[in-house]
């Protein structure tokens, strides 16, 4: 008796819809086991993780705050992954966006600069992220260097550049030697949406990005080109699509979105530039992109779900003393199950008597 994989004649649409749900269900089961190993009551822990944050308007808004960068980054990454381009350095592009945008906030700090500051910061943030993403893209297009490794290495470099700036030239002179810039002026801050809570206009920007991506992928030549190059590179060559230009394009767009997310994060909920502005948004966004099936609307839902795990994880740490690292474990396991379940869209698992007998049957 043996389990084998067999290619389906066509994609199973039923499983395509069911697979993310199945993956989440399997993850929850695995998590329950982990909770039990840690000596916590699984039912209580799951409640604290996934239900409690939904019962309070403050935590609901916090979920939206956390989902904002995740969705924006993941939309950009999904364009890359659809085109079979592997940008995994979004974390670095997020940081460089935050750094470039913050430059304006730092130099105009305490001056009576007008309301042009924030729009200019957003532009510089997006440009900073895009330029940082251009490094691995150009290395790949010009020299054929593997973009996975170069984009990832640049995450560490970006982190160190920010560290240097906030400990050195940009440090707040009144900040008691803490590695942080001065608090941004009101003209350099993304305004909040409501009187209370930290939810800000960036959340709307993320929704606009989702809408634009939906239109681009579904209704434009560029979107078609991205999908053809990714799914059938040979066909794309016959169609005259330039795959090198597409590498530059997808890297630039995803870098710009990650950079924009970065500057919105520091000019919005955080309010200063300091180390640790990202709890790994750039990496979690990879999971968001896959869980959302590389589809903009799917990414929006997946982004909210993973934001829920961040908030739930913080709640579980406070009320149940569950280590914060469990959130990362959860995210890793979820990605595994998503990938495994997605495989069932293209293949089915068959139990066969033995490989020899089967070939005999055909003959």
| Binding range to other proteins, per CB under 8 A, among 100-108, 133-141, 172-180, 193-201 | 133-141
| Of residues 267-296, those binding other proteins (CB under 8 A) | 283, 286-287, 290
The Cα–Cα gap between 216 and 211 comes to: 9
Minimal distance, residue 290 CB to other proteins, in Å: 6
Which of 65, 83, 135, 137 binds other proteins (CB under 8 A)? It is 135
Among left, alpha and beta (phi > 0; psi -120 to 50; other), residue 109 is beta
Tokens of 136: 């691995």
CA geometry: angle 262, 266, 272, nearest 5 deg: 145
CA-based radius of gyration for the chain: 22
Q: With respect to other proteins, which residue has the nearer C-beta, 76 or 269? A: 76
Q: With respect to other proteins, which residue has the nearer C-beta, 264 or 299? A: 299
| Of residues 149-188, those binding other proteins (CB under 8 A) | 149-150, 152-154, 156-157, 160-161, 163-164, 168
Which of 131, 139, 192, 248 binds other proteins (CB under 8 A)? It is 139
| Residue 244 binding other proteins, by CB under 8 A | no
Which of 1, 7, 177, 321 binds other proteins (CB under 8 A)? It is 7
Bridge partner list, 58: none
| Residue 343 binding other proteins, by CB under 8 A | yes
Minimal distance, residue 2 CB to other proteins, in Å: 10
Backbone angles phi and psi of 244, in degrees to 5: -65, -45
Q: Which residues of 228-252 are buried (b: 16+ CB within 10 A; e: fewer)?
A: bbbeeeeebeeeebebeebbbbbbb
| Residue 231 binding other proteins, by CB under 8 A | no
Q: With respect to other proteins, which residue has the nearer C-beta, 182 or 344? A: 344
Bridge partner list, 345: none
Q: With respect to other proteins, which residue has the nearer C-beta, 92 or 202? A: 92
- Say how many C-beta atoms besides its own lie within 10 A of residue 325's C-beta: 10
Tokens of 342: 């997605």
* Count of residues that interact with other proteins, criterion CB under 8 A: 56
Helix residue ranges, H only, the chain: 13-37, 42-46, 57-82, 90-107, 117-143, 147-167, 202-219, 221-231, 233-238, 243-265, 281-291, 296-320, 325-346, 355-362
The Cα–Cα gap between 331 and 353 comes to: 37
Minimal distance, residue 240 CB to other proteins, in Å: 24
| Of residues 98-117, those binding other proteins (CB under 8 A) | none
219 vs 203, 214, 216, CA distance in Å? 24, 8, 6
| Binding range to other proteins, per CB under 8 A, among 15-23, 65-73, 214-222, 322-330 | 322-330
Minimal distance, residue 304 CB to other proteins, in Å: 19
User: Would you give the binding string for other proteins spanning residues 205-224, x where CB under 8 A is met?
Assistant: --------------------
| Of residues 81-100, those binding other proteins (CB under 8 A) | 86, 88
Q: With respect to other proteins, which residue has the nearer C-beta, 213 or 335? A: 335
Q: With respect to other proteins, which residue has the nearer C-beta, 41 or 111? A: 41
Contact 256, 72 (CB under 8 A): no
Helix residue ranges, H only, 266-295: 281-291
Minimal distance, residue 325 CB to other proteins, in Å: 3
Binding region for other proteins (CB under 8 A): 3-5, 7, 86, 88, 135-136, 139, 142-146, 148-150, 152-154, 156-157, 160-161, 163-164, 168, 283, 286-287, 290, 323-333, 335-336, 339-340, 342-344, 346-347, 352, 355, 358-359, 362
């Amino acid at each position: 008796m043996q389990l084998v994989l067999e290619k389906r004649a066509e994609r199973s649409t039923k499983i395509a819809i069911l697979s993310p749900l199945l993956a989440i269900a399997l993850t929850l089961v695995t998590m329950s086991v982990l909770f039990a190993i840690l000596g916590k009551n699984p039912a209580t822990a799951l409640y604290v993780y996934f239900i409690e944050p939904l019962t309070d308007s403050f935590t609901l808004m916090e979920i939206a705050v956390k989902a904002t960068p995740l969705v924006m980054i993941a939309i950009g990454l999904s364009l890359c992954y659809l085109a079979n381009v592997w940008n995994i350095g979004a974390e670095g592009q997020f940081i460089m966006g935050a750094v470039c945008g913050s430059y304006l906030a730092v130099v105009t700090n305490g001056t009576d600069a007008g309301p042009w500051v924030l729009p200019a910061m957003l532009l510089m943030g997006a440009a900073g992220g895009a330029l940082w993403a251009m490094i691995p893209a150009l290395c790949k297009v010009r020299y054929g260097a593997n973009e996975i490794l170069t984009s990832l290495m640049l995450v560490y470099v970006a982190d160190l550049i920010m560290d240097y700036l906030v400990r050195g030239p940009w440090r707040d002179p009144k900040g008691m030697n803490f590695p942080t810039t001065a608090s941004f002026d009101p003209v350099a801050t993304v305004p909040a949406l409501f009187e209370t809570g930290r939810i800000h206009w960036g959340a709307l920007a993320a929704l606009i990005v989702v809408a634009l991506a939906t239109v681009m992928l579904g209704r434009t030549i560029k979107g078609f080109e991205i999908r053809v190059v990714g799914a059938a590179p040979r066909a794309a060559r016959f169609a005259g699509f330039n795959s090198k230009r597409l590498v530059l394009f997808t890297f630039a767009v995803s870098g710009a979105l990650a950079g924009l997310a970065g500057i919105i994060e520091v000019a919005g909920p955080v309010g200063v530039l300091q180390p640790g502005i990202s709890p790994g948004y750039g990496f979690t966004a990879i999971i968001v992109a896959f869980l959302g099936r590389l589809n903009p609307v799917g990414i929006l839902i997946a982004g909210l779900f993973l934001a829920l795990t961040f908030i739930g994880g913080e709640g579980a740490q406070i009320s149940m003393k569950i280590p914060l690292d469990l959130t990362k474990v959860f995210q890793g396991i979820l990605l595994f199950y998503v990938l495994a379940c997605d495989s069932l869209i293209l293949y089915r698992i068959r139990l066969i008597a033995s490989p020899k007998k089967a070939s005999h049957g055909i003959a």
